Amino acid sequence: MRIVLLGAPGSGKGTQSQLLVKTYGVPQISTGDLLREAVSKGTELGVRAKSAMDAGKLVDDVIVLGMIRERLAQSDAAKGFILDGFPRNIAQAEALESMLLGLSKPLEAVVLLNLDLGILFKRLTGRRTCQVCGQVFNIFTSPPDTAAHRAKCGHDPVLIQRPDDKEEVIGKRLEVYDAQTKPLIKYYTTAGLLRVVDADAPMATVFESIQRAVEPQIA
């Protein structure tokens, strides 16, 4: 499986990537997660990325492409990958295409998770992550069950909000999506790779729609 999950902030890319990883056994490659890890470790790359992320803007293409090139070269990506949050503009999509051409591993499908603005906003303002184990919850749609979490992970959920999920930053992220990422819809339609999935449904239903969309395409 070599696919891209495309969609606005909060459309469910991370959530669905996790389900795909469990079912198909290929790694999730999330540029957002890689960047947040670099920020939390205080690496040079993290320091350079932080101000753009805090402002809801895209991080410089040179940084992101370097990270992706390195990640795709790791052995677990040889069997396939789910790209989550990458590419995010035409320049990144073109660079990805030539990287994959060089590896003789072209993309098989690009899945667009389609969701209305009002719902995106609610999903982002409601998102909380457990600081201890990284599990993602939503105070509106999937709040944590403390007893179940303790039984599964051995600790109570310690919920934090991502700094870019504050209302004032969400607006900027959605603007950036419209201006820079939405043109990829046309780009991948022209390439014959785009599959559109309705993301306004329970997580399991969205997952089934993704499976129906990609299974005829994947090796």
**Rounded distance between C-alpha atoms, residue 41 and residue 21, angstroms:** 25
| Residue with smaller CB distance to ligand AP5, 25 or 163 | 163
Tokens of 124: 């982002």
Name residues whose C-beta falls within 8 Å of residue 90's C-beta, 6 or more positions apart in sequence. 183, 184, 187
Contact call for residue 50 and ligand AP5 (CB under 6 A): no
Nearest alpha-carbon partner for 38 in 13, 64, 15 = 64
Among 48, 57, 122, 162, the active-site one is 162
From the CB of 111, what's the least distance to ligand AP5, in Å? 12
- CA pair distance 127, 140, nearest whole angstrom: 8
Residue (96 or 109) nearer to ligand AP5, CB: 96
Nearest CA among 53, 85, 81 for reference residue 172: 53
CA–CA gap between residue 153 and residue 33 (Å, rounded): 21
Q: Residue number with the shortest CB distance to ligand AP5?
A: 32
| Shortest Å distance, C-beta 8 to ligand AP5 | 7
Name which of 132 and 203 has its Cβ closer to ligand AP5. 203
Interface residues toward ligand AP5, by CB under 6 A: 7, 9-15, 31-32, 35, 52-53, 56-59, 64, 85-86, 88, 92, 123, 126-127, 136, 138, 141-142, 164, 173, 202-203, 206
